[in-house]
Structure 1
């Protein structure tokens, strides 16, 4: 897409638009619940792992076969180093995706299969609409072989990382979707 075309394009309201160096245009629906949930998870990483923990949010990670991803949250190994401009999937200990109305199939199906195929040790799905968190572990080529589902409001969910540290997600503090009211 040329710069002129981008400048003349009207993107839908409520979407974040990212332009990759490789020429890809990525449009992601954003909501207050989505943003607040990511903020809550980032806070939990600081509390659990310290402020110097290597984390990213909506930042590209390199995967093989041009299947790069920019997950809502990634926790990396402490000794991770960029390879070129980005970190590699091999440095990832946990990926978390926050479900939005339009991304449910992708987060529950496509990402689960992809992250397992590449051996991501922990894949966490946080779903404000179902009010649950699903922790997938034990990746295999055909998917994760273990999953634990916990409802919002059930306390702290400790998630063991492959390096021995524990990330704790506070399920009591995750934001709930607010009902829509009249239009503005």
Structure 2
């Protein structure tokens, strides 16, 4: 059992907080309104694409063999993903969305890029309320992503999942935040 799964099983995560373990440290961050609203907007776009709610979730544990597990702000999984108690394996993840809780968040911009790429997650999208910018990464490889697109808030972002489902996200409603 991992530290994260133990916290989840014991109900040790206070409401409104996100808890992750990085380099042996437990990091507990309150969710900002901007994070919440952005995730809701993306969830709406995913629902509009016809992706079933059972395949989309936020702040749910995703396990990474031999590494720290994660609870992304939003995760889209494949049709045949297998639930393991309150978690899913990274091999079932098609796309991840993160909304940084602080400017230049090393976790989102460095560690997660490396981890999600290494484990073959097809799309990693960072919606940054500080930069007012969406960074969409695709073509995963051993230490990151081969293709990186930066799209200013206000423009649409589109991605086609491995399942053939196409998600178009309107970023004009994404909230912004001063650093």
Pair in the same fold by TM > 0.5: yes
Structure number with greater Rg is 1
Does residue 165 of structure 2 align to residue 159 of structure 1?
A: no
**Residue 93 and residue 153 in structure 1: after superposition, are their counterparts in 2 closer, same or farther (change >3 A)?**
same
Instruction: Provide the residue aligned with 1:49 in structure 2.
Output: 50
**Greater alpha carbon shift after TM alignment, 168-177 vs 105-114:** 168-177
**Residue 115 and residue 18 in structure 1: after superposition, are their counterparts in 2 closer, same or farther (change >3 A)?**
closer
Unaligned runs of 5+ in 1: 2-10
How far is the alpha carbon of 1:59 from its aligned partner?
A: 0.5
SS in 2 for 1:87: strand
Instruction: Provide the residue aligned with 2:170 in structure 1.
Output: 170
How far is the alpha carbon of 1:142 from its aligned partner?
A: 2.0
Instruction: Provide the residue aligned with 1:100 in structure 2.
Output: 101
Cα distance in 1 for partners of 2:99, 2:20 equals 21
8 Å contact from structure 1 (residues 45, 53) kept in 2: no
**Residue 19 and residue 71 in structure 1: after superposition, are their counterparts in 2 closer, same or farther (change >3 A)?**
closer
Unaligned runs of 5+ in 2: 4-13
Instruction: Provide the residue aligned with 1:114 in structure 2.
Output: 115
How far is the alpha carbon of 1:143 from its aligned partner?
A: 1.3
Cα distance in 1 for partners of 2:57, 2:157 equals 20
How many residues are treated as equivalent by the alignment? 164
How far is the alpha carbon of 1:35 from its aligned partner?
A: 1.4
Cα distance in 1 for partners of 2:58, 2:113 equals 18
8 Å contact from structure 1 (residues 123, 137) kept in 2: yes
How far is the alpha carbon of 1:107 from its aligned partner?
A: 0.5
**Residue 28 and residue 103 in structure 1: after superposition, are their counterparts in 2 closer, same or farther (change >3 A)?**
farther
Cα distance in 2 for partners of 1:18, 1:136 equals 24
Deviations 1:155-182 (A, max 9, x none): x2111111111122111121222x69xx
SS in 2 for 1:126: strand
Aligned-pair Cα RMSD in Å: 2.7
Cα distance in 2 for partners of 1:114, 1:73 equals 16
Cα distance in 2 for partners of 1:52, 1:29 equals 24
8 Å contact from structure 1 (residues 153, 171) kept in 2: yes
